[in-house]
Structure 1
Amino acid sequence: MPPISERAHRDDVLDDIYASTILRKGLPKDRFPDSSNLPENVFAAVRDELMLDGNSRQNLATFCQTWVDDEIRRLMDLSIDKNMIDKDEYPQTAEIEARCVRMLADLWNSPTPGDTMGCSTTGSSEAAMLGGLAMKWRWRKKRQAEGKSTDKPNMICGPVQICWHKFARYFDVELREIPLEGDRLIMNVEEVLKRVDENTIGVVPTLGVTFTCQYEPVKAVAEALDRLQKETGLDIPIHVDGASGAFLAPFCAPELEWDFRIPRVKSINTSGHKFGLAPLGVGWVVWREKSDLPDELVFNVNYLGGNMPTFALNFSRPGGQIISQYYNFLRLGREGYTHIHSACYDTAEYLAAEIGKMGLFEILFDGDRKAGIPALAWKLKDGAAIGGYTLYDLADRLRSRGWQVPAYSMPANREDLVVQRILVRHGVSRDLAELLLDDIRRAVAWFEQHPVTRPMTAAEATGFNHN
């Protein structure tokens, strides 16, 4: 066999990319390859496989950002070799992370934004788990001081994303998830009070429920827990899962009280790569005050030449997303975030109005910026679908045009309710919305002309499932 340099030179001179050895024989898939290959040939092969993925801009199921500035791409390139956990080697990346924490504490009205605790994470799920762990540790420490049992912690939530189910299982906490009832599709005060007791580590309202996109009533729950404390002495904290809403409400519903203006709110998590507009791979958690993060959760690590406090679940990870988040804060400010997110709300409201006019669908959430995130959710009206199709069939039909518009069943006790949803993110323009509406109308007309003999079920659907 010729040396690698000779073979590479031969391929470079004689072969077109698609006539090269690697592409003529097909890519190795089950065993580690023996030979090296020219980088442009390998790049072409992998690039072509990626064409089979969906177009992320048409993915209206995801909350995650699918459009970024060119400047962010350049900053990501500059940061690709920086391990953000190594704060001694990359002190400026560490400083930028700390600035972001302070800016978020200020955005969320912390009483001491310059002196609170918080950190970046790989996403809002990790951030949520850190908030949950802090609640559990505070509860356990208090119970131990009182000489009481610590073996039955529980937490209260409404219909939640899978990360909270993971938290409960991984960290041995009973999850008291409030079941849905009738038209009530989120948590309310009465259902929270039915479930709290001395073993409750905290209540977790969601600012932007994944199923219907609505904000849960943080202030009303906090006021109810204030009354409960006066009556019983139970002091139950709140952690707000602001994965989406914590980057929306401060700009588009600033009068809404859900954050650290409410003393009972001890921590907030959010996703930087959702409505924070950063590229995939960054979340944030911030505590109201420094004392709200138990010291027992902070590790001081002697690592690569420096003493470093850390309290994330992950260790080594890239710094580019943090740098990009800071870029967005500086680039947009309150004015820019308000402008961008308001445009998303305008498009969501427009889509809800137009889909409602079709007469087939009942809008469950219409993109009201004071009540939820820029999104809409609907169900089929009873008996309205000519052609016998379900929302699963409609979602499947739209996928043939590249659109991912998820249909899914709701959690207990409304598994009978099938909902379809659209997320309107930065980059989902009015023009794209018009194209989508045209495709929905075409799909409905197709079903009317080609009745479905056996409607698609949830098990057969290729689309989206929260759990």
Structure 2
Amino acid sequence: MSDDASLEDIFAVPAMGGGAPKEGFPEKEMFSDVAYQLVHDELMLDGVSRMNLATFCTTWIDDKARRLMAETVDKNIVDKDEYPQTAALEQRCVRMLADLWHAPDPASTRGTSTTGSSEAAMLGGLAAKFRWRARGGTGTPNFVCGPVQVCWEKFARYFDVEIRQIPLSGDRLTMDPDQVAAYCDENTIMVVPTFGQTFTGLFEDVAGVSAALDELQRRTGLDIPIHVDAASGGFLAPFTAPDLAWDFRLPRVKSINASGHKTGHAPLGAGWAIWREAADLPEELVFNVNYLGGDMATFNLNFSRPGSQAITSYYEFIRLGRIGYTRLQTAIYSVARHLAQGIAQAGPFEVIHDGDPQRGITAVSWGLAGGQDFSLYDLSDRLRARGWLVAAYPLPDDRGDETIMRAVLRHGFTHDMADLFLADVDRGLQHLAAHRPKTPLTSEDGGGFTHNATAAVPLPGAGSQGKAPF
């Protein structure tokens, strides 16, 4: 058998007579066509990525982006001496993002591509910790946030920083700026608003948090910086809500992280960390290495990785520009608003985020009105039977008894697909009405999301961790 045997031959060769190797490292080799077919066929069991409304990540890229990815997958982005043009494209992206996010001097700011916004967030947190230490900070540092993505819990645990999560109060679904000062003290290295909250898709009020910290500084002298986690919103608001102040227009914002592979149209593995000014990235975080052929600076958590994600990001930036990004992002917001209207009309739902570009990302989130004999986990299960993956999960602490669903819409999700999804929601509701579950599914039954997060910190005076004097 030749290595380029036809498909008909592959299914009759001896190697296909048993299962794919699963236990232990295989002893024998096999033809590449056979190995490919085995892997290809197993992956058929995965879901269809474009029907996955739980993920925030890119599920559609154009053919030229795929071509660039394939052509540059062997370029090691850290090896700037060997691949100087890849390094140049990365730095062009940094300057473009600094300009997009209104840095005072985009040409001199510092930033880097990362494997995603989780790495970028940790770099922003480490920079804040090092700046705090340089100011004379001692003891255990802390940072203040609302409901956050797990990367911030990892940052707190891995780098020995106390996380002070403000619990949801009343009917609020985001961090309340009026409560921020009560959680801050001399060991607070930063406050982290989430610009596109994971749970609901809503924007947290960065300008409100900044104003609260301005007032705290006026009263106490504490000058606490902001790091904005703009994992999803960083590539949306500049084009669809340009007057919304959340970025470096607010002087207290010292750094921003964002995922190019979420709403930036880049492939998986593309994130960005940008600092307001060069001085906001402490030199202690920058390492110079000379064993790849030349002296070069690096300040990432990892080292070797493909340059293809940064290259493809640059391709998208120059292909679309401000006009193109505005057109594409406006289109997906339009689909989100259409879906939200359909959800509101479909059944006993209460829409939380309706895809308004002034309030949040291109997502729709909703809860279930009271008095129903099924749960959102039941509905999620019915939708999964039709191929749709939709997240259902409890809200964070202090509202953890409330379950919501969230559909994240990305480039490639069309008006027609929204109609198909709404038809399946209606079909699922009809099924649940005709076959009422004896016991509604729970998060564990449905394989849904459960929190393992650090508990939110109550207000000082009510058993607070790290009681703040202000």
TM range (shorter): over 0.9
| Superposition map of 1:292-303 within 5 A | 292-303=280-291
Contact 1:409 1:417 in 2 (8 A): yes
Task: State yes or no: 1:217 paired with 2:205.
Answer: yes
| SS of the residue 1:213 aligns to | coil
1:265-296: per-residue Cα shift (whole Å, max 9, x none)?
A: 00000001000110000100000000000011
| SS of the residue 1:202 aligns to | strand
Which of 427, 451, 457 does residue 442 from structure 1 map onto?
427
Q: Which runs of 5 or more residues in structure 2 are unaligned?
A: 453-470
**Partner residue in 1 for 2:389:** 404
1:32-75: per-residue Cα shift (whole Å, max 9, x none)?
A: 22222121111111110000000000000000000001000100
**Partner residue in 1 for 2:294:** 306
Task: State yes or no: 1:320 paired with 2:308.
Answer: yes
**Partner residue in 1 for 2:317:** 329
Runs of 4+ in 1 over 6 A off after TM superposition: none
Counterpart residue type for residue 39 of structure 1: S
**Partner residue in 2 for 1:287:** 275
Two-structure CA RMSD over aligned residues (Å): 1.5
| Superposition map of 1:56-67 within 5 A | 56-67=49-60
**Partner residue in 1 for 2:108:** 115
Contact 1:86 1:303 in 2 (8 A): no
**Partner residue in 1 for 2:228:** 240
Q: 1:21 to 1:15 in 2, by over 3 A?
A: farther
TM-score by length of 1: 0.95
Q: C-alpha displacement at 1:465, in angstroms? A: 5.0
State the identity as a percent: 58
Q: Which runs of 5 or more residues in structure 1 are unaligned?
A: 1-7, 145-149
| Superposition map of 1:189-200 within 5 A | 189-200=177-188
Q: 1:11 to 1:191 in 2, by over 3 A?
A: closer
Q: C-alpha displacement at 1:331, in angstroms? A: 0.3
| Superposition map of 1:72-83 within 5 A | 72-83=65-76
Q: C-alpha displacement at 1:397, in angstroms? A: 0.9
Which of 121, 127, 147 does residue 128 from structure 1 map onto?
121
Which of 9, 22, 28 does residue 15 from structure 2 map onto?
22
Q: 1:15 to 1:329 in 2, by over 3 A?
A: closer
CA distance in 1: counterparts of 2:32 and 2:25, whole angstroms: 17
Q: C-alpha displacement at 1:25, in angstroms? A: 1.6
CA distance in 2: counterparts of 1:175 and 1:417, whole angstroms: 23
Which of 36, 41, 45 does residue 52 from structure 1 map onto?
45
| Superposition map of 1:5-44 within 5 A | 8-9=1-2, 12=5, 16-44=9-37
1:392-421: per-residue Cα shift (whole Å, max 9, x none)?
A: 010011000100011000111111010001
Contact 1:162 1:466 in 2 (8 A): no
Q: C-alpha displacement at 1:14, in angstroms? A: 12
| Superposition map of 1:197-212 within 5 A | 197-212=185-200
Q: 1:330 to 1:422 in 2, by over 3 A?
A: same
CA distance in 1: counterparts of 2:311 and 2:421, whole angstroms: 34
**Partner residue in 2 for 1:152:** 140
Counterpart residue type for residue 332 of structure 1: L
CA distance in 2: counterparts of 1:252 and 1:112, whole angstroms: 23
| SS of the residue 1:378 aligns to | strand
Contact 1:87 1:308 in 2 (8 A): yes
**Partner residue in 2 for 1:413:** 398
TM-score by length of 2: 0.94
Counterpart residue type for residue 318 of structure 1: P
**Partner residue in 1 for 2:63:** 70
CA distance in 2: counterparts of 1:449 and 1:460, whole angstroms: 21
1:216-247: per-residue Cα shift (whole Å, max 9, x none)?
A: 01111111111211211100000000000010
CA distance in 1: counterparts of 2:189 and 2:152, whole angstroms: 14
**Partner residue in 2 for 1:3:** none
Counterpart residue type for residue 162 of structure 2: E
**Partner residue in 2 for 1:360:** 348
Q: 1:91 to 1:465 in 2, by over 3 A?
A: farther
Counterpart residue type for residue 136 of structure 2: R
CA distance in 2: counterparts of 1:103 and 1:334, whole angstroms: 11
CA distance in 1: counterparts of 2:172 and 2:132, whole angstroms: 30
Contact 1:404 1:463 in 2 (8 A): no
Contact 1:67 1:426 in 2 (8 A): yes
| Count of aligned residue pairs for this structure pair | 452
CA distance in 2: counterparts of 1:390 and 1:14, whole angstroms: 46
Which of 80, 83, 91 does residue 87 from structure 1 map onto?
80
**Partner residue in 2 for 1:147:** none
Q: C-alpha displacement at 1:358, in angstroms? A: 2.3
| SS of the residue 1:270 aligns to | strand
